[in-house]
Structure 1
Amino acid sequence: MMATEQVEKVLLHMDDRVAYLTLNRPKSLNAMDVDMLNQILHSLKEVAANDNVDILVLAGSGTGFSAGGDIKTMLSRVDDNEFEPVMELITEITKTLYLLPKLVISAIHGPAAGLGLSLALVADYIIADRLSSTAMNFIRIGLIPDGGAHFFLEKRLGEAKAKHVIWEGKQLSPGEALHIGLIDEVAEEELQTAVIQKVKKWKKRPILAMIQTKSIYNQMHLPELEKILELEKIGQQAMRNTKDHREGIQAFLEKRKPIFTGE
């Protein structure tokens, strides 16, 4: 039964030193529920244990990379006793992907938002389709980013720009995202073609040396990432208890603009 579920929500394919992990809930724009998060972690551990894989490509099926966390599913987990395990799961996914002894590419088409963007940002290189969009949009429901987003945004943008991106929560075009350094490349042709070209280029390089350099930086910054993940968990718990969060969720469900009061 578990194997069937995994095939439905996370597709994992390995070929010629490359693993392809595809989020596969296309009808929900690859929004991540708890089952999907568990399958992502299982797949990442499988990739980590495979010595024949040097590169991991993260992608989404259907019309987008990922809309983020599945809000309707998460709403059923309002009890604090259930919130804590979900945040621990997100933490484990983030750390497993960050410490993965492989080079990681995020291939973004369509929207990458919220937790979906957090996941994409863990990659070493981000390629976006010309019709893609990115948004760190937790603010729209009165929450803060999680999945280590504070860490990865600060590393890419610097603290000031990272705060602005988080606070504004607006949708960025691929050109805007490239300009500020949120992504590394906008595909000139098809996204798949750009990914293939990048993979081919990396395969021709001393990739073990590249991975070793990545490992040195990751080990150096791991304590900071772990601290931020813990602070995100504490902060997210606090924000879940605010009136603004309840209003943000209600507005989302009613498909209207929220009215925040700072409470």
Structure 2
Amino acid sequence: MTTDFNIDCKTETVKVSVVGRVATVELNRPESMNALDLEMIRGLAWNLKELCNSDDVEIVVLKGAGRAFSAGGDIKTMLSEGDESDFLSIMDSISELVVTLYSMPKVTISAITGAAAGLGFSLALATDYIIADSASKLAMNFIGIGLIPDGGGHFFMKSRVGETKAKHLIWEGKPMKADEALAHGLIDEVANDIHASVQAKVEEWEKKPLQAMIKTKKIFAEENRLSLLKFLELEKIAQTKMRQTEDHKEGIQAFLEKRQPNFIGK
């Protein structure tokens, strides 16, 4: 039996379907490559919290509609000239989403097709297992517009590859093919058929004692909770400062003009 629902989150940008013990959460802004605006961020957090409370669901698959997993944060949000408190509210919503996804008492899979960049990549890294299509591109590419990773990007990159390599990859910010991301340890599997690979992993997990798997996850999540919260707070403070730099303004202008930025370190 399949159930489709948006649990009173008042948004069509997130779609959830449940089949048996498996919930699929789909980012649904295909026209913008599933760029994460505030509506989608809050809708994701709302739906994930509802799934946390479901006794029937044990596996959650996160995916993107259309040709991308997620191109990252919505550039229109970055260009907003609203009060700085608006930006801080967005960062708080991102933190709420990330903590919910990372610590939810379900085992989680990211199914990446197309681009997983910036905040979109941070979200994928917050899940327990990442499968990427062989043609996908992954990038922690905040540096290209004079920003730093957010959404817990520092925490998850460090957890995956260690501090030194995490710094180097963040500073480079270049897109990686799926095979390269696998070699770095940033993802867990490369798929020629993403749907078949996700289904195979789901079926493998369904044959395991899932409550024991979830208990192990909860132990790690509880032990790491304060560290993740600290990273998220530091990212919020630092990102606020980075948005005020000349390099960020130049990065945004270069992005809009489709040219290489001319950074000056200011």
Give TM-score, length-normalised by structure 1. Answer: 0.96
Supply the AA of the counterpart residue of 1:84: L
Decide which of 212, 215, 227 is 1:212's aligned counterpart.
Answer: 215
Match of 1:38 in 2: 42
Alpha carbons 1:13, 1:20 under 8 Å: kept: yes
Q: Which runs of 5+ in 2 are unaligned?
A: 1-5
- Name segments (4+ residues, structure 1) moved above 6 Å: none
For 1:73-114, what per-residue CA distance to the aligned partner results, in whole angstroms no more than 9, with x for missing partners?
Answer: 332254211011000000000111111000000000001000
The answer to whether residue 115 in structure 2 is matched with residue 111 in structure 1 is: yes
**Which consecutive unaligned segments of at least 5 residues does structure 1 have?**
none
Q: Is 1:152 paired with 2:156?
A: yes
CA contact (8 A) 1:77 1:83 kept: no
Distance 1:47 1:33, change over 3 A: same
Match of 1:230 among 233, 237, 250: 233
Structure 2 counterpart of 1:249, from 241, 248, 252: 252
Q: What's the CA shift for 1:72?
A: 1.7
Instruction: Specify which of 95, 99, 107 is matched with residue 95 of structure 1.
Output: 99
Q: Which amino acid aligns with 2:154?
A: H
TM-score (norm 2): 0.95
Fraction of identical pairs, as percent:
55
What's the CA shift string for 1:142-182, capped at 9, x where partnerless? 00000001000000000111011100000000110000100
* Letter paired with 2:97: I
Q: 1:138 aligns with which of 122, 137, 142?
A: 142
Amino acid at match of 1:76: S
Check conservation: 2:9, 2:43, Cα contact below 8 A: no
Deviation at 1:4, TM superposition (A): 8.8
CA RMSD of aligned residues (A): 1.4
Q: Do 1:99 and 1:215's aligned partners in 2 also have CA atoms closer than 8 Å?
A: yes
Other structure's SS at 2:253 match: helix
CA distance in 2, matches of 1:178, 1:2: 35
